[in-house]
């Protein structure tokens, strides 16, 4: 992505130290980032750090370089404003339209997407005043992420932790790519997403597996939370990624474990997205002890089929439930990638199928992806190679469109 103009607002919370990593990620992606810290933020991280990592002067006051009118110019020129951390105080001032420092002035003059990333103690996040302020900002079109659950300041743990910088940067890139990519269209919905690749044991140390990293499924979960889903259940198979904020993560290993977890979560779900790379086969049995290397040839491994989880979900689906499958395909002498995808959509019976070509370094363990979203009752949607969050947003767009078509035909 070409360099874009970003304002990184930093409010006065201990999580300001994480914003340093976010700044590095944004600048390393080639973006032109101006840091606007509040006065209290500079008590946690100083001007020298922000300036050194952004390669720009730090904007501190409406009176600095007054002839350039910074309180207006910064907001007008920005293509994205990210506030991380956004404290309870900052959210309150922004919701009430105050302009008592450079950051709140910038928020009032910005006409680009604004992404607030809250961080505070659980009691502050749950206080009715904060709840109302967040609702006000969201109603006005700002994106306010849900905080993560984890260790807070001191010894307490709960909801209020700043999401990981990698997840914030991912959503920032998405908003730069598609400013309307995070509408609150999943409010009140329970969504279930599977991610990663299953492993089928051969012995206690060996397994049959695949190259899936889980990045695409995690992006789908993160975007769902950012689009307001009331509950996001992520079934993660053998991933090494931080949990996305606003999600409940269930870690599994094998296809059988994943199937059990997905079926349980799907009982009350409005949408299920099967993005995991689930093994089609498993060894008929697993050795109790490690198979030793010897001069003799090892015994052949007999494979048996795993259950078709997506087909079972279609069979057992709740009324109105939307089911989305993924198909990692390669073309062969019997058909193209898209032809195989269309056949799989008809065979599975799901509502949507995301078809992407794999092999040759594509899709697996990469930050980007390309795909075609097939539907049983709409034209295909082609997503060119882009960050995986872009495809994730397109999947939720397709789900929303599918639900709308179903509602209008009742």
Which of 190, 191, 199, 325 lies closest to 257 in space, CA to CA? 199
Each of the 410 residues of the chain gets a pLDDT tens digit; together they read 678 999 999 999 999 999 999 999 999 999 999 999 999 999 999 999 999 999 999 988 766 665 565 668 899 999 999 999 999 999 999 999 999 999 999 999 999 999 999 999 999 999 999 999 999 999 999 999 999 999 888 788 899 999 999 999 999 999 999 999 999 999 999 999 999 999 999 999 999 998 899 999 999 999 999 999 999 999 999 999 999 999 999 999 999 999 999 999 999 999 999 999 999 999 999 989 888 887 678 788 999 999 999 999 999 999 999 999 999 887 787 878 888 899 999 999 999 999 988 766 666 778 889 999 999 889 999 999 999 999 999 999 999 999 988 888 76
Helices 47-54, 16-28: axis angle to 10 degrees equals 20
Per-residue model confidence (pLDDT) at position 69: 58
Fold agreement between 5-177 and 190-408: yes
Per-residue model confidence (pLDDT) at position 295: 60
Fold of 5-177: Rossmann fold (3.40.50)
Strand, helix or coil at 407?
A: helix
CATH of span 190-408: 3.40.50.10300
Give the other-Cβ count within 10 Å of 32's Cβ: 17
Q: What angle do CA 353, 356, 358 make, to 5 degrees?
A: 140
Place of tokens 């690749």: 197
Which of 65, 20, 70 lies closest to 46 in space, CA to CA? 20
What residues does each domain of the chain span? Answer: 5-177, 190-408
The catalytic residue positions are 210
Q: pLDDT tens for residues 47-104?
A: 999 999 999 999 887 666 655 656 688 999 999 999 999 999 999 999 999 999 999 9
H/E stretch holding 297? none
Strand, helix or coil at 383?
A: strand
Q: How far from 400 is each of 189, 243, 394, CA to CA, in Å?
A: 11, 25, 10
């Amino acid at each position: 992505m070409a360099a874009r103009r970003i304002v990184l607002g930093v409010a006065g919370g201990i999580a300001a130290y994480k914003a340093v990593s976010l700044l590095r990620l944004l600048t390393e992606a080639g973006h032109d980032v101006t840091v606007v810290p509040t006065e209290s933020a500079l008590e946690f991280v100083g001007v020298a750090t922000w300036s050194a990592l952004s390669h720009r002067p730090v904007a501190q006051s409406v009176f600095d370089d007054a002839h350039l009118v910074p309180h207006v110019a910064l907001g007008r020129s920005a293509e994205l404003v990210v506030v991380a951390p956004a404290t309870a105080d900052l959210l309150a001032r922004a919701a009430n339209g105050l302009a008592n420092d450079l950051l709140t002035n910038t928020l009032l003059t910005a006409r680009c997407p604004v992404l607030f990333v809250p961080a505070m103690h659980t009691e502050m996040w749950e206080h009715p005043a904060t709840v109302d302020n967040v609702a006000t900002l969201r109603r006005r079109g700002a994106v306010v992420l849900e905080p993560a659950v984890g260790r807070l300041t001191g010894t307490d743990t709960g909801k209020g932790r700043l999401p990981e910088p990698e997840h914030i940067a991912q959503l920032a890139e998405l908003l730069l790519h598609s400013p309307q990519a995070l509408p609150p269209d999943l409010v009140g919905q329970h969504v279930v997403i599977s991610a990663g690749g299953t492993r089928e044991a051969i012995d206690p140390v060996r397994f049959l597996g695949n190259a899936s990293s889980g990045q695409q499924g995690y992006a789908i979960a993160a975007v769902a939370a950012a689009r307001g889903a009331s509950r996001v259940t992520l079934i993660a198979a053998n991933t090494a990624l931080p949990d996305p904020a606003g999600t409940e993560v269930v870690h599994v290993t094998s296809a059988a474990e994943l199937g059990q977890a997905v079926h349980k979560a799907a009982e009350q779900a409005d949408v299920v997205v099967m993005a995991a790379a689930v093994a089609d086969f498993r060894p008929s049995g697993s050795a109790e002890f490690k198979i030793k290397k010897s001069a003799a040839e090892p015994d052949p491994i007999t494979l048996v089929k795993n259950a078709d989880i997506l087909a079972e979900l279609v069979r057992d689906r709740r009324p109105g439930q939307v089911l989305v499958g993924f198909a990692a395909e390669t073309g062969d002498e019997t058909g193209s990638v898209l032809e195989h995808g269309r056949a799989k959509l008809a065979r599975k019976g799901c509502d949507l199928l995301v078809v992407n070509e794999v092999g040759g370094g594509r899709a697996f363990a990469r930050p980007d992806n390309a795909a075609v979203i097939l539907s049983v009752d709409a034209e295909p949607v082609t997503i060119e190679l882009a960050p995986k969050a872009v495809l994730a947003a397109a999947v939720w767009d397709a789900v929303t469109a599918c639900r709308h078509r179903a509602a209008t035909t009742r």
